[in-house]
Amino acid sequence: MKKINFIAITIMLSLILSSCGSTQVAGEIGTNSAVQKPSASESTDEPLPKTYDQSSVKVRPDDGRTVIGISMPDKLLERWNHDGTFLKEHFEKEGCEVVLKFANNLIDTQINDIRSMIDEGADLLVITAVDGAALSSILKEAKSQGIKVVAYDRLLMNSDAVDYYVSYDNYKVGVLQAEYIIEALRLKTSRDSKNIEFVTGDPVDNNARYFYQGAVDTLLPYLENGKLRVISNQQGFYETSTAQWSTDIAQQRLQIILNSYYPENVKLDAVLCANDSTALGATRALESDYTGTNKVIVTGQDADVPNIYSIIEGKQSMTVFKALRDESVVAVALGLAILSDDTPDGQLITNSGWGFDCTYNTTDYDNGSKIVPSFLLSPITVTKDNLEEELFDTGYYARNGAGLIYAVE
């Protein structure tokens, strides 16, 4: 592994961030008691570059290369393509060699991908699992060779080989979706009861349960007092889940529900969809099989381009936006700190000067084997009303000459 100039890294990352044009607020300090708040004499506006002891940089194997293996779950979903690109670009800018692979949503392919990264001399693995619980053996192998592991976006389960977790606050994603529904259906003041259906995520993705729990906890008072009803009676996590987050599966399940439980005189008010791929399935099902004339509230997550159009056209009501560029910036800074044989904590946030919210959490992400120290970013609600401001004015998305929307890379 090649030695890394960490002062240069700090400056580079600050540059990457300033070019992002983010308008979000400065990072908070997390729950770790070891984290020190900056003293009054220190300005939190200025990045505080950390000086690393270069002689402590660990070498595995001593081949003069710093190799990063990035294993993404699939190329079908828009976001993983962007995550892969951002991570690769940022690590390469720091002089690392990158092996980036997409597993086509197949567990065996992902295990083989990771094995070949180990063989290619990886010093650090950044992994978003297809199935969070299926990688324990290969991770054990990585650990035995001294390779560091960062779980990216999805927690890696049942393994003590996971060093850190970088993600958005997954529970909050569900809270934001539910809060939108409460507001849009005026549940606090309305006297009528409203009907909702749930389309949740892939049960082998640990995030899916967090999204679900955040949403259900927030909606619970209304489900309990009868202001919200689930006519299909399908309300549990597994019975409402969507294998592989598939648009088609979400569409088919909602079509069956609409045909079975929503005849002409029964109104559906909202469909809580865990993300944008499932929301796309839900809006298609509503178009083809819903006989009511009201606008059905549909939630989502990711701000995928087809869903941005869907929001503009009024078919989807909101999405929860998670800036992937920021998530990758945190993962890269963390990865480089780990490779300097450092044990990063909330101080990484304080030192970074990031222009976005990030908290350090050492309590909430238990993977069954250990509580994985986590860096969590903060998601935001995007609707037709704030879409220009949050997605376009910030530079995350743009329109080309023909007016077509694209995500800026």
Does residue number 327 form part of the binding site for ligand BGC (CB under 6 A)?
A: no
Q: Which two tokens stand for residue 28?
A: 């908070």
Q: Is 82 in the site for ligand BGC (CB under 6 A)?
A: no
Q: How far apart are CB 303 and ligand BGC at their closest, in Å?
A: 10
Closest CA to 49 of 350, 346, 332: 350
Whether the CA torsion 234, 237, 243, 247 is positive or negative: it is: positive
Residue 325 makes contact with ligand BGC by CB under 6 A: no
End-to-end CA distance of the chain: 28
* 103 versus 336: smaller Cβ distance to ligand BGC: 103
Which tokens is 189 given?
């003041």
Minimal distance in Å, beta carbon 13 to ligand BGC?
23
Whether 83 contacts 327, CB under 8 Å:
yes
The answer to whether residue 301 forms part of the interface with ligand BGC (CB under 6 A) is yes
> Segment 190-229, which members bind ligand BGC (CB under 6 A)?
205, 207
- 17 sits in the region (left: phi over 0; alpha: psi -120 to 50; else beta) called alpha
Q: Can you tell me the distance from the alpha carbon of 57 to that of 40, in angstroms, rounded to the nearest whole number?
A: 32
Q: How many residues bind ligand BGC (CB under 6 A)?
A: 10
Binding of ligand BGC by 79 (CB under 6 A): yes
Asked if 338 and 150 touch (Cβ cutoff 8 Å), the reply is yes
User: According to CB under 6 A, which one of 123, 131, 169, 302 is a site residue for ligand BGC?
Assistant: 302
CB nearest ligand BGC: which residue?
275
Task: Report if residue 245 touches ligand BGC, rule: CB under 6 A.
Answer: yes
Q: If binding is defined by CB under 6 A, does position 390 make contact with ligand BGC?
A: no
Q: Lay out the site mask for ligand BGC across 142-181 (x = CB under 6 A, - = otherwise).
A: -----------xx---------------------------
Q: Are 326 and 377 in contact (CB under 8 A)?
A: yes
Rounded Cα distance, 241 and 228, in Å: 20
374 counts as binding ligand BGC under rule CB under 6 A: no
CB 246 within 8 A of CB 279: no
Q: Which residues bind ligand BGC (CB under 6 A)?
A: 77, 79, 153-154, 205, 207, 245, 275, 301-302
